[in-house]
Structure 1
């Protein structure tokens, strides 16, 4: 059953995600609202890694907001590509971090699907850090996160959230293509 909390959290998150894809600075404050609501929803659903993730998103949204507005030397931060060397170590490090955090949740909490939930956490952090730096490749990580998150949320009865994450998957593809174009124009 879809509750008011799930609806409100998804409205805030959807606004933020669509605004990020459109390269709007308003992504950050709308994201803060959605994340605060999601933290309560995920706690109730025993998705503890996702609760921690919402805390990270709130803090990183404040930082991202400042970075996007100020950028370097007072001008807006440009969209660019991440360095290949940086990306080469991110995936194995992310898998290791997800396994370690998943093991902690498995042994010390009553978390539901701790390893899958931890993968959503870790790769969302990676994607968010790249988004904060306006790196085109953030969208590839969002595609990965959404691919894992949809069945996870559906398995907890969060059907609206699962449906919207499926929509976010499509948004990530469209946004990736759009940001690639913007990066070429800015180069």
Structure 2
């Protein structure tokens, strides 16, 4: 069983395997801190995503690399956004997305998908079914990351959907550690949604 799961790594450089494991660990830490509504979601996420940008570039997975490059930018923005205060009170606490913000997330979803399609077409990367699924997950994760940076509870719904799709996607690509990471991401995202919902209800009451 273990041979089947990790056979893909037989010809991988040890350095890249170690980097992937480090990226997975910091990625899990980041999602855990997001669940706890803790600002450390962003520094831990930055470490994970920057490592993945490098690895995905090495592995020629352009769509995934674009997603993680975007995560780097949005993590910096989210870090700033979450720390903003007025008279020592958090300016942007957990909340539901407004109609305008939902429209923006739909716009981000569609435009990011179009962008990845253009990139994949230009580099002739539509050679496998995984490339087509990449365009979908890119749109989902782009919108989800934007909503998380805005501290909107709907971000968890998009993470759950995207994580579930990514589990078999990364396994088929040959990255078992990352696939396992997305299984754990899915579980934490469900609990994250429930915890943010409780925080929101307590505040409204």
TM-score normalised by structure 1 residue count: 0.89
The Cα shift of 1:4 comes to 0.6
What is aligned with 1:186?
203
Aligned counterpart for 1:33 among listed residues 34, 44, 47: 47
What is aligned with 1:143?
160
**1:110-150 deviations in Å (ceiling 9; x for gaps):** 53633211222221111111111111110000011102211
User: Any unmatched runs of 5+ in structure 2?
Assistant: 1-8
What is aligned with 1:124?
141
Classify the secondary structure of the residue corresponding to 2:38. coil
**1:7-44 deviations in Å (ceiling 9; x for gaps):** 01111111111111111001111111111101112122
What is aligned with 2:171?
154
**How many Å separate the matches in 2 of 1:88 and 1:35?**
26
Q: How does 1:1-187 map to 2 (within 5 A)?
A: 1=9, 3-71=17-85, 75-76=89-90, 77-84=92-99, 86-87=101-102, 90-91=105-106, 94-95=109-110, 97-98=112-113, 100-111=114-125, 113-187=130-204
The Cα shift of 1:95 comes to 4.7
8 A Cα contact 2:108 2:143, kept in partner: no
User: Any unmatched runs of 5+ in structure 1?
Assistant: none
* Cα gap change, 1:58 to 1:97, in 2 (>3 Å): closer
**How many Å separate the matches in 1 of 2:87 and 2:122?**
46
* Cα gap change, 1:41 to 1:15, in 2 (>3 Å): same
Classify the secondary structure of the residue corresponding to 1:79. coil
